Structure 1
Amino acid sequence: MLEAGKNKETIVAAGGYGVPLRKSDRLQLPLNDDHCTIETFGDWLARHDGERLAVDLFTGAGGLSLGIQDAGWTIAAGVDFDERAVETHASNFPGLSLRLDLAEVEVRDHLVQVLSDAKIDLIAGGPPCQPFSRAGRNKIRDLVLNHGRDPDDLRKELWRAYLDIVTRVRPRAVLMENVPDMGLADDFAVIRILQDKLEKMGYATEVRLASASDFGVPQHRKRLILLARNDIDFFDWPDEKCPQPTLRDAIADLPGFNFGPRELIGDRELTYDESQDLSELAQEMRDGAEPGVVHDHMTRAVREDDYATFNRMTSTTLYSDLDESERRYRADSFTDKYKRLGYGDLSRTITAHIAKDGYWYIHPEEPRTLTVREAARVQTFPDRFRFAGTRSDAFRQIGNAVPPQLGRAAASALKPLESDDVPGVEPLWVQVREELAEWARANRDGEKWYSYPAPEMGPVQAAVVALLAGTRELDLASIAEFVRGWKRITPGRYLDLLHKAPTRSAYKRLGRLTQAIDVPGIWNVKRRAELARLLELAPAQEAVFTMLLGQDDLLVLNQATLRVAARVAGSESDRTNRQTTGRVDLSRLVGAEEDASLRLAAVQVIGRTLCTAEDPNCAECPLANVCREPQDGTDLRREAADGTLLSVL
C-alpha cells in the first residue's frame, strides 16, 4: 500500500463541500512520432503505401481508433471538436489528428479534399446522435412539407455529417458506434435511414446491440454497432470471451493506498510491481507500458463522512440501505447514488459522469472512488495510453470512449478477404424491401385495404381500426368497410356505428369516438396527434393509428410483427429481447422513409394471416425465400440454383 500521492493540485474552492476542491495539473502530451499535418500528409501517405488506412470521425480520445489499430488498420486521421481529446489522439496515434466541427458543410468539404489522395479502406466513428422523438419527427416533417424547410438543415444531426463523408469518400468498409438509446428511443429511425442509404450505395449492412463484456471488457456496457462493407455480404465477429473478465482481473494488480479523509490520493507516476502473477487482462494492459511505472493512478480526495460510509458499504449495499444521517440526497430520487463495485463482478458502465461524480464507482476494498488509471483499465485502455489535460479531462475522455476491445471485435468483422477474388455484394435487403412494398400495394387494392396506409385510409378509418386492434378479423373487416369513405363522424353516423359493434368490448372501444364528434376540424390528418390524445389511444393502438396514416417512421412491436421478423432473422427475438433485438430484426424488413409504414403494415398482415404461430402458409409468404426459419419444412431459398432472390409476388 502506498502513502497518499504528492501530485500537484490547485485548491479552487472549499465551500460547504466537506473537502477542498482541487484541480489537478494539466498533462501535456508529446506528439506521436508518426504524427503529420495536412501539409505533410502526402509524404505520410507515401511512407504508408500499401497499408490498410482508416479514418475515425468523432474520435474522442481514441478508444475506437485503438481497437481498429489492434485489428490491423493504420489510423490515417482522427477528427473531433474536443480540444483535449484531439491532443490525446495526436499523442497516441499516427497520421492526422484534426480539431474540426463536422457540422459545417465547408469543413466537411475540406476534409474530403484532404483525404482524396488517400485510399481509405475504413471510415469509423461515433457521431453524437440526437434521436428523434416521435413528436420531433412529426414536427420536422411538417416543417419540410409545409414551410419549405431544407430537411438537411439539421445542425445537431451529426450522423448526417458522418453519412455525407462516407458517401463522398466511399471506403470499402464502415463502422459506426453509439449508445443503444440512439436506436431504442426513436424506433431505429436514424439507423434505418443509414442502412437504407448504405445498402442503396452497394454496401451490405449489419446492426448489432453488442455487450462489451462478451468481448473482454470488464463492465456492463451495451453499444449499438452498425457495420457495412461493399466487398462481401458476411460479417465474421470474433468468438466471445469465456469466461468474462471481472473487475479483479482489470485492476487488482494496481497499487493500493493508505490515506485518510481529505487527503490527496495517488499521483501522475507511481511505482508498479512487475513481479506479480497477473491476470490475462492485466498482462494485456501492461503491454508496452514503462517497466516498473504506472501513470495517472489518482483520484479525488474523500469527505470525512463519506470516508466512514464507504468503509461500511459492500457491493450489495443500496443507497437506501444507508442510515439517513449518511445520505446527502433523497433515497427515493437517488436510489443508486453510491455504488461500491465488487471485485468478482463486472463494473457498472463507465460514463462521462465520472468526471463530475465518482460515487457510482467506489473501489471494492478502499474507501475511495476509482482512479483515472483504474477507469481506463475498466474501459480496456492499456497502461501505455495517456490522456491529455486535467484529471477531470481524463475522466471525461475515458467515460465517452468506445472500449478498445469492443472496437477491435467490431473492426475484426470488417477485415478484407485475403484473396483477390472478391464476390461483391448483392443488394438483397433492398430488393426484399422493394418486393415487400409491391406485395403490400397489390394487397391493399383488395378486401384487406383497411390494413394498409392507402388513399382511402383517413383519420376516421385509422381511428376505428386502431380502436378495434386485436378483435376478430371478420368483425374488423365488416366495420372498416362500413366507415369506408367517411371524412368525419357525425352524431348520426356515430350511433349507426355503435349498432354495428359485434361484441360488448367493441362497443365500449368505439364509444371513445364520442369525445371527438363535436371538435371542429379534428378529423384533419394534421391534427392526428391531438385526435389520438382525445381518443385516449393506448400506446399499441396509437402505433397502429400512426402506421395506417403513413405519417411516421415507427415500428409496431406485437406478436405478429415480431414473429415474422424473428423467423426471417432466424432468431428468438419474438420471445426474448423483444424491445432490443426484436427491433433490430424488424427494422431490417421495414426500412426507412417513404414506404416504411407500408412495409410495416405488410409485415403485420403477414404475421396475422400467413406467418401464424401454428400452421403457417409459407408458400404464399413474400418473405419465404429469405426466411432462415421456414415453418412448413420447405426451404424455398433452395429453389434458386444461382442464389438469387426468388419472387413470390
Structure 2
Amino acid sequence: MTIRAKDGWMPIGDAAAQLNVSVDTLRRWAKSGLIKAKRSSSGARLFNVEEVSRLQKKRSGESDGTEYRVLKEDAIIPEATCVDLFAGAGGTALGFHNAGFNHVLLNEFDPSAAATLRENSERLGFDWDVVEGDVHELDFSGVEAEVIQAGFPCQAFSYAGKSQGFGDTRGTLFFEFARAVEQVRPKVAIGENVRGLEKHDGGRTLKTMLNRLNELGYDVAYRILRAQYLDVPQKRERLIMIAVRRDLDLPILFPRERDYLISMRQALKDCPESEGQKYPEKKRKVMELVPEGGNWRDLPEDVAREFMGGSWNLPGGRTGMARRMAWDEPCLTLTCAPAQKQTERCHPSETRPLTVREYARIQTFPDEWQFQGNLTSQYKQIGNAVPVNLGYHVARCVLAMLGYAPRTEDMEEVSPVNVALL
C-alpha cells in the first residue's frame, strides 16, 4: 500500500486504511489515547507514520521493535539529592532512584506503604531514610536537598471522587509540600496529581497552587503526561508541575511522548504468580460472557440489565462496567481494586481480576519490589502509585535541568506559566 505522508504524518483516511479499521474507529482510538493525532493548519487530523506502523504490527501479532522493561541507569549520582513526600509504595521514588537520584528523606503516613518502602530499601540496599508519620509534624528546616518531589494525595481533585479540592482535608496537603519547599529551598520542586486538578473549580485550585510557588520565588510550568506514551503499559494521565528557583535561571524540561505503546501482552509475559481477588460465582458467570476488550455492551440485554442494576439507566458509556482488558493494548488506568463495579479490570483471557503482581507489572514496578500489608492494602498501594517508568522519565529531565545528565531530543523545554493569565 502506498502511504501519502508529509513530514512523517498521514491523513486519517490513509491511517485507517493502513490499520484496516474504519475512520470512526481510528477517531475513537485517538480519543481514548490508543494512538496520537495532531491537527494540520487546515484542521485535518493527522497520524504519525511510524506510530501507525507499530500499532499495525502489534495488532497483527508481529514484533514492533518495542519491549516491556523497567527503565534504570547504572549508577546513583550522590550530589543529586531528593526528598519524596507522600511517597506511597514508592512508584515515583523508585523511578527517580532508577534515573540516578540519591534520596535523603521519604515520608509516608500509611503504615503498610511505609513498611513497603522500608522493606525494599533494606533488602535492595537503597539506604533510604523512611520517616513514617504525619507530614504536618515534620520539620524540614535542617534538610538539604536539590529536589523535592511530592505526589500530594489526589482524591480531593479526582473526577472519580467528590472533587471537593481544598474543601477536603487531603487537598490542604499541597500546602505542606509548599512549606517543605519554603524551608528547604531546593533548586527544583515537582508536584504530581490527577489531570482533574487542571479544571478543578474552574482552574482556581491549580492557580492557587502555582501562585503559592511563585510567591516562594519559583518559576513553574505544568504538563499533563500520558503514561502510555512513556514506556508504561497503561492509559494513565498525570498532571506534573515543575518549579525552578528563580535565582538559578534553570530550564524547565518535560519528557516528550514516544511514538509507541507497550501492550498488556508484553507486560504480563512470564509474570510471576501471586495473590489476587476472586469473583463471586454469579459475577464470574457474567464476566465469562464478555469478550477480550469488551464490556457490558457485549452481554445479552437481560444479563446486562440485571448485572448493572440502577446503572442501566445512567447516561454515558459506562465502559468500565464488566470490562475485560485487551492483550494488544495498554491496560486502562488501574484503580485501588481490580473488581470495582464501575472500573472493572478483568484479565484479557482468564475470567478473574488482575493479580497483585500483574498490577505491579502494569505500573512498571520490578518483580523484586515486594508490597507489605494485606491484599486490599497492596492493591491500593499499587493503584495509587505513579508508574515507575513515568517517574524515571520525569527524573531524567530534572537531572538534565540540573546538569547531571545530557539533554536529549526526547526532552522538551517549556516556558514558565504566567499565572496572571490563567
Give the TM-score normalised by structure 2. Answer: 0.68
Partner of 1:123: 148
Q: CA deviation at 1:239?
A: 4.6
The one-letter code matched in structure 2 to 1:362 is C
Retained in 2: the 8 A contact 1:237–1:412? no
The one-letter code matched in structure 1 to 2:330 is L
Q: CA deviation at 1:235?
A: 2.7
Q: Counterparts of 1:214 and 1:78 in 2: how far apart (Å)? A: 28
Q: CA deviation at 1:317?
A: 2.8
1:86 corresponds, among 103, 114, 118, to 114
Aligned ranges 1:193-592 → 2 under 5 Å: 193-230=208-245, 231-254=248-271, 294=272, 297-323=274-300, 324-325=302-303, 327-330=306-309, 331-333=312-314, 336-354=320-338, 360-415=344-399, 416-418=401-403, 588-589=417-418, 591=419
In terms of Rg, which structure is larger? 1
Aligned ranges 1:54-133 → 2 under 5 Å: 54-93=82-121, 94-102=127-135, 104=136, 107-108=137-138, 111-113=139-141, 116=142, 118-129=143-154, 130-131=156-157
Retained in 1: the 8 A contact 2:92–2:385? yes
Partner of 2:186: 171
The one-letter code matched in structure 2 to 1:393 is S
Distance 1:50 1:119, change over 3 A: farther
1:53 corresponds, among 81, 91, 95, to 81
Greater percentage in strand? 2
Deviations 1:500-556, CA, capped at 9 Å, x for gaps: xxxxxxxxxxxxxxxxxxxxxxxxxxxxxxxxxxxxxxxxxxxxxxxxxxxxxxxxx
Q: CA deviation at 1:244?
A: 1.2
Matched, 1:189 2:189: no
The one-letter code matched in structure 2 to 1:127 is F
Matched residue pairs, number?
321
Q: Counterparts of 1:209 and 1:51 in 2: how far apart (Å)? A: 29
Q: Counterparts of 1:311 and 1:59 in 2: how far apart (Å)? A: 38
The one-letter code matched in structure 1 to 2:277 is R
User: Could you say what secondary structure the match of 1:340 adopts?
Assistant: coil
Q: Counterparts of 1:49 and 1:413 in 2: how far apart (Å)? A: 14
RMSD of the alignment, in Å? 3.3
User: Could you say what secondary structure the match of 1:363 adopts?
Assistant: coil
Q: Counterparts of 2:340 and 2:322 in 1: how far apart (Å)? A: 14
Retained in 2: the 8 A contact 1:355–1:393? no
Structure showing greater relative contact order (alpha-carbon pairs closer than 8 Å, 6 or more residues apart): 2
User: Could you say what secondary structure the match of 1:181 adopts?
Assistant: helix
Q: CA deviation at 1:95?
A: 2.2
Q: Counterparts of 1:356 and 1:305 in 2: how far apart (Å)? A: 15
Q: CA deviation at 1:213?
A: 0.9
Q: Counterparts of 1:355 and 1:53 in 2: how far apart (Å)? A: 39
Q: CA deviation at 1:217?
A: 0.7
Retained in 2: the 8 A contact 1:204–1:229? yes
Q: CA deviation at 1:72?
A: 1.0
Distance 1:75 1:183, change over 3 A: same
Distance 1:189 1:131, change over 3 A: farther
Deviations 1:379-398, CA, capped at 9 Å, x for gaps: 11110111001111110000
Q: Counterparts of 1:351 and 1:412 in 2: how far apart (Å)? A: 27
Q: Counterparts of 1:156 and 1:382 in 2: how far apart (Å)? A: 31
Retained in 1: the 8 A contact 2:78–2:101? no
Q: Percent identity over the alignment? A: 28
Q: CA deviation at 1:49?
A: 10
Retained in 2: the 8 A contact 1:213–1:220? yes
Retained in 2: the 8 A contact 1:355–1:392? no
Q: Counterparts of 2:278 and 2:157 in 1: how far apart (Å)? A: 37
Gaps of at least 5 residues in structure 2 are 1-75, 122-126, 405-412
